[in-house]
Structure 1
Amino acid sequence: MVSINPIARKICNYIPFVLVLIDLRYEGVRSDKDGSVENHLEMGKKLLAAGQLADALSHFHAAVDGDPQNYMAYYRRATVYLAMGKSKSALPDLSKVIELKPDFTSARLQRGNLLLKQGRLDEAESDFKKVLKSNPSSKDQMEAERQLTKSDEIQRLVVQAQNDFDRGDFITAAAQLDTIIETCVWDVSSRELRTECFIQLGETGKAISDLKATSKLRNDNTQAFYKLSTIYYSMGDHEMSLTEVRECLKLDPDHKLCYSHYKQVKKLNKQIQSAEELIDQQRYGDAVSKYEAVMKTEPNVQQYSLHAKERICHCLAQDQQAERAIKVCSEVLKSDPQNVNALKGRAEAYIQDEQYEEAVRDFEAAKEHGENDRQIKEGLEKAQRLLKQSQKRDYYKILGVKRSAQKKEIIKAYRKLAQQWHPDNFHGEEEKKKAEKKFIDIAQAKEVLTDPEMRSKFDQGEDPMDPQSQQGGGHHHQNFHGGFNSYQGGFNPFGSGPFNFKFNYN
């Protein structure tokens, strides 16, 4: 019987489901062989049946420590390990069972199954054959025969898959390996070979999945982490590349390939992060320089050059450098026609350059691939308004200034044109009338573009001087004989400013 002191008994009475154990060295538990091992085995068996695996495992640890020659203690512990999904831990226990009791066919059959899953086919077949030679239950014999047949088939597929791979038939080799891995789920070699097939076929997502599995199946698998890092790097994912190469260096700080790759990725990652910080600070010129440095750091991987140009495109558009922005954005779109960010950047630059039809076209293309993007929706509406407006009267074009022109530039352009188109400079009646119309347009343009509120309305697609505009009611027009026939608030293009005009028609 297991001897339990009064304190431990009291705890058990009040907390019946809590097992207070510290292996066999727990207070009140003796590690003798007078029945305590059997009690641990029995208790562990009950806990295992109840699904309390961790507690059951503690009892089986105690039983193994209490009697290292008790094959049943190892077998029960292996059973818990298998239930917990810890096959690596179960395998040594099953081997110990077979060492202590070679005719224990259930343990041998289970070990054969684990070896088969690990791809250790020769060892698995040896176990299955020994089960068949013994006098097991018909159930064990049938299972061993079935698994032996499966192992023979896998042996054949392994040879065939390697041959297909060697002759460059990666599709067929991958298909063969799929079948192998369905049974040999923990076979590292098969997964590594299938990874190479996926890499050759350009199926990087599948290659990554297999590499992640092999990094867990094989201890200290620096090669898997190195390959994962290089694959992510080639895909343009510098952050994941950095994460995986760090895992390699944790296992082996002196790993030459990983350390060399780490320095490259870390440098690139730092440059990209710095560039993005500059963009957040709206320091677009500095961000452009930083992304140009990114392209010099990694000129051979297209993804980084493409990403750098995409961000440069954005910076130039935000910095009102329309001509350069259009050029860089177009380079990105030549390689990646569906790049939404490049389409948005070029569309903004087209608006700045007053190429509204092109801006509408780019925003519409971007909308196809980014339907829920608010910026695209607003940008398209703006480009459509400006296009419609440009087909009517464009005050910027009338004065010959850019949309980004400052007030001083606008006034300077106005004065120059007003002197040029002063009606008194013309003598024929038709010429004078034409000059009057031109002069009124010039005056209206100056009036709108030097008034912040009216200019804002015009930039949003309204014409503050348009009598047809719903927002433009109450306009009055000044003629040249005195009186007002519809131009806003008594606006008189000839009664203010540096010019004082007097028109004669005779």
Structure 2
Amino acid sequence: MVSVEHVAHKLLTYLPYVLVLIDMRFEGVKCGREGSVDHHMEMGKKLLAAGQLADALSHFHAAVDGDSKNYLAYYRRATVYLAMGKSKSALPDLSRVIELKPDFTSARLQRGNLLLKQGMLDEAEDDFRKVLKVHPTDNEATEAQNQLIKSDEIQRLVAEARHSYNSKDYAGAAALFDAIIETCVWDVTSREMRAECFIQMGEMGKAISDLKVSSKLRNDNTQAFYQLSTIYYNMGDHEMSLNEVRECLKLDPDHKQCFSHYKRVKKLNKQILSAEELIQEQRYEEAVSKFEAVMKTEPNVPHFIMLANERICHALTHGQQQPDRAIKVCGQVLQSDPHNVDALKNRAEAYIQNEQYEEAIRDYQSASEHSENDRQIQEGLDKAQRLLKQSKKRDYYKILGVKRTAQKKEIIKAYRKLAQQWHPDNFQDPEEKKAAEKKFIDIAQAKEVLTDPEMRTKFDHGEDPMDPESQQVHRGGHQFHNFNPFGSGNFHFKFNFN
């Protein structure tokens, strides 16, 4: 039996050899890891040179993971980030390089340039000065010196811009911020202050542009989204306003200003979309009521009042029931916007419905001046001109005393009343009987035309089916040029009023 002492003696005898083997294996692993990092660095450099940025980035990620103290790996990765336009990602890597190797002037110079673009002027100047103290190359020294001079000038411009801004000289401040942002392109504060200048100056498009950039430069910029939403709202763009305020709530669901504004915009947006659906369905009276509700919901934003009136003008015109009101509402739109082509076309159509043909012609002519080659305008103008010419001859609607929108029942009712009144049998005097006969024929012709859909359509388009000078109109193979309700030869004045 082997004793414990014997086993212990053997282990002690071979222990130095075991330790040597373990140490050799560890060294092999270490060498393998270093080789792997070198491989990733080399591959990353080749891919970067070839412009394959995403693949290069993957290798530099692996190199950083393999050796967290390899400053060159961080530097190369920052270089790729910059080439990809991801300066936010490059900045921490450059800072890590400087932490690991404070005298690495290229990294410090690049970081200084990024800080300058972000408007972090003091931090940028600190980097540029340190570059000059660490024996840089001639090119690096020249660049650092030039950037220092530029930063000093921007410091001066910032002070002047803020003074002008605080003095409410918004035009002067905006011009100074222009010069600042030309260099400090990622300076959120300068962009936001310039946006406010533009808002005060009424240049909303420029303000929107700056705020959109600001919302991207700062990850949690709820204020930019809120401002964008309110600007769009006041401009009458309810859909864009809703989109921007939703972006604010994505960042902060409990944001009080954004949530309150969201409820307001959502209600108005729903009303407008619902009203537009009613117009599409030709439910014009309901659409008018819905747009009137829009004006009650938001009475203080002129753009929404204008939008509502413009659509009410459209609905009333197409509803063809209230031409007088349509003319009035369209007129309100045109008072604020005299060149509104849609309002001009709609009012012109309402004038036609109201038999005010000369006014309709003027509106169509005005609309054509601001919208060339619009087929609808030309067709409407032709129609108004034909109807004006026609109105100076014989107007069957006027003969029966009905509106152009009258239904068949109204036309027959008016015809019966007038036919009974003007029937020649009611008159004994030969002259009066002759005049009544002529009047009676006109009444009968009016009824014949306006109760026949085909002839009424022709008449509405400026052609008189009963006029011998007009193109011959056929109905059921019969001509209507010599229409005579009494027939030919001797007749007795009996008439069927159906």
Is TM more than 0.5 here? Answer: yes
Alignment of 1:315-394 (within 5 A): 315-320=315-320, 321-394=322-395
With 326-335 and 196-205 compared, the bigger mean Cα shift is at 326-335
Question: Where does residue 276 of structure 1 map in the other structure?
Answer: 276
Shift of 1:348: 1.5
Shift of 1:494: 2.2
Shift of 1:435: 3.8
Given candidates 485, 489, 494, the residue that maps to 1:493 is 485
| 8 Å Cα contact 2:361/2:385 also seen in 1 | yes
Shift of 1:322: 1.0
Query: Relative to 1, partners in 2 of residues 1:91 and 1:493: Cα closer, same or farther, differing over 3 Å?
Result: same
Shift of 1:426: 5.3
Q: CA separation in 1, counterparts of 2:229 and 2:219?
A: 18
TM-score of the two chains, using structure 1 as the length reference:
0.86
With 394-403 and 224-233 compared, the bigger mean Cα shift is at 394-403
Alignment of 1:298-317 (within 5 A): 298-317=298-317
| 8 Å Cα contact 1:79/1:90 also seen in 2 | yes
Paired residue type of 2:113 = N
Question: Where does residue 180 of structure 1 map in the other structure?
Answer: 180
Deviation per CA, 1:120-159, whole angstroms, max 9, x where unpaired? 0001111111112221111111111111111111111111
Deviation per CA, 1:272-299, whole angstroms, max 9, x where unpaired? 1111111122111111111111111111
Q: How many residues align?
A: 461
Q: CA separation in 1, counterparts of 2:350 and 2:120?
A: 63
Deviation per CA, 1:210-247, whole angstroms, max 9, x where unpaired? 11100000011100110010001001111111111001
| 8 Å Cα contact 2:467/2:481 also seen in 1 | no
Shift of 1:488: 3.1
Q: Residue 466 of structure 2: SS of its match in structure 1?
A: coil
Q: CA separation in 1, counterparts of 2:40 and 2:187?
A: 35
Query: Relative to 1, partners in 2 of residues 1:424 and 1:113: Cα closer, same or farther, differing over 3 Å?
Result: same
With 200-209 and 324-333 compared, the bigger mean Cα shift is at 324-333
Question: Where does residue 396 of structure 2 map in the other structure?
Answer: 395
Query: Relative to 1, partners in 2 of residues 1:217 and 1:349: Cα closer, same or farther, differing over 3 Å?
Result: same
Looking at secondary structure, tell me which structure has more helix per residue. 2
Query: Relative to 1, partners in 2 of residues 1:407 and 1:74: Cα closer, same or farther, differing over 3 Å?
Result: closer
| 8 Å Cα contact 1:322/1:350 also seen in 2 | yes
Deviation per CA, 1:318-356, whole angstroms, max 9, x where unpaired? 221212211211122122222222222211211111111
Deviation per CA, 1:293-321, whole angstroms, max 9, x where unpaired? 11111111111111111111111112212
Deviation per CA, 1:93-112, whole angstroms, max 9, x where unpaired? 11111111111111111111
Larger Rg: 2
Query: Relative to 1, partners in 2 of residues 1:96 and 1:31: Cα closer, same or farther, differing over 3 Å?
Result: farther
Question: Where does residue 20 of structure 2 map in the other structure?
Answer: none
Deviation per CA, 1:167-192, whole angstroms, max 9, x where unpaired? 12111111111111111010000000
With 273-282 and 138-147 compared, the bigger mean Cα shift is at 273-282
| 8 Å Cα contact 2:41/2:73 also seen in 1 | yes
Question: Where does residue 462 of structure 1 map in the other structure?
Answer: 463
Alignment of 1:77-116 (within 5 A): 77-116=77-116
Identity %: 77
Question: Where does residue 9 of structure 2 map in the other structure?
Answer: none
Query: Relative to 1, partners in 2 of residues 1:313 and 1:34: Cα closer, same or farther, differing over 3 Å?
Result: closer
Query: Relative to 1, partners in 2 of residues 1:415 and 1:172: Cα closer, same or farther, differing over 3 Å?
Result: same
With 182-191 and 305-314 compared, the bigger mean Cα shift is at 305-314
Q: Residue 471 of structure 1: SS of its match in structure 2?
A: coil
Deviation per CA, 1:339-382, whole angstroms, max 9, x where unpaired? 22222221121111111111111122222233344332322222
Paired residue type of 2:238 = H
Query: Relative to 1, partners in 2 of residues 1:443 and 1:302: Cα closer, same or farther, differing over 3 Å?
Result: same
Q: Residue 393 of structure 1: SS of its match in structure 2?
A: coil
| 8 Å Cα contact 1:112/1:128 also seen in 2 | yes
With 221-230 and 366-375 compared, the bigger mean Cα shift is at 366-375
| 8 Å Cα contact 1:32/1:66 also seen in 2 | no
Shift of 1:425: 5.1
Query: Relative to 1, partners in 2 of residues 1:488 and 1:278: Cα closer, same or farther, differing over 3 Å?
Result: closer
Deviation per CA, 1:71-102, whole angstroms, max 9, x where unpaired? 11111111111001111111111111111111
| 8 Å Cα contact 1:399/1:442 also seen in 2 | yes
| 8 Å Cα contact 1:386/1:461 also seen in 2 | yes
With 423-432 and 207-216 compared, the bigger mean Cα shift is at 423-432
Q: Residue 102 of structure 1: SS of its match in structure 2?
A: coil
Q: Residue 55 of structure 1: SS of its match in structure 2?
A: helix
Alignment of 1:105-254 (within 5 A): 105-254=105-254
Paired residue type of 2:411 = I
Alignment of 1:32-51 (within 5 A): 32-51=32-51
Q: CA separation in 2, counterparts of 1:276 and 1:434?
A: 53
With 465-474 and 141-150 compared, the bigger mean Cα shift is at 465-474
Paired residue type of 2:483 = F
Question: Where does residue 18 of structure 2 map in the other structure?
Answer: none
With 186-195 and 333-342 compared, the bigger mean Cα shift is at 333-342
Q: CA separation in 1, counterparts of 2:242 and 2:276?
A: 18
Paired residue type of 1:398 = I
Q: CA separation in 1, counterparts of 2:30 and 2:284?
A: 75
State the superposition RMSD in angstroms: 2.3
Deviation per CA, 1:402-455, whole angstroms, max 9, x where unpaired? 112233332332333334444555566655544443333223222222222222
Paired residue type of 1:494 = F
Paired residue type of 2:357 = Y
Task: Could you tell me which runs of 5 or more consecutive residues in structure 1 were left unpaired when the two chains were aligned.
Answer: 1-28, 475-486
| 8 Å Cα contact 2:465/2:471 also seen in 1 | no
Q: CA separation in 1, counterparts of 2:290 and 2:311?
A: 10
Paired residue type of 1:141 = A
| 8 Å Cα contact 1:344/1:362 also seen in 2 | yes
Paired residue type of 1:342 = A
Q: Residue 98 of structure 2: SS of its match in structure 1?
A: helix
| 8 Å Cα contact 2:37/2:63 also seen in 1 | yes
Paired residue type of 2:311 = R
Paired residue type of 1:493 = P
Q: CA separation in 1, counterparts of 2:325 and 2:408?
A: 25
Alignment of 1:395-414 (within 5 A): 395-414=396-415
TM-score of the two chains, using structure 2 as the length reference:
0.88
With 193-202 and 379-388 compared, the bigger mean Cα shift is at 379-388
Query: Relative to 1, partners in 2 of residues 1:136 and 1:392: Cα closer, same or farther, differing over 3 Å?
Result: same
| 8 Å Cα contact 1:366/1:376 also seen in 2 | yes
Q: Residue 442 of structure 2: SS of its match in structure 1?
A: helix
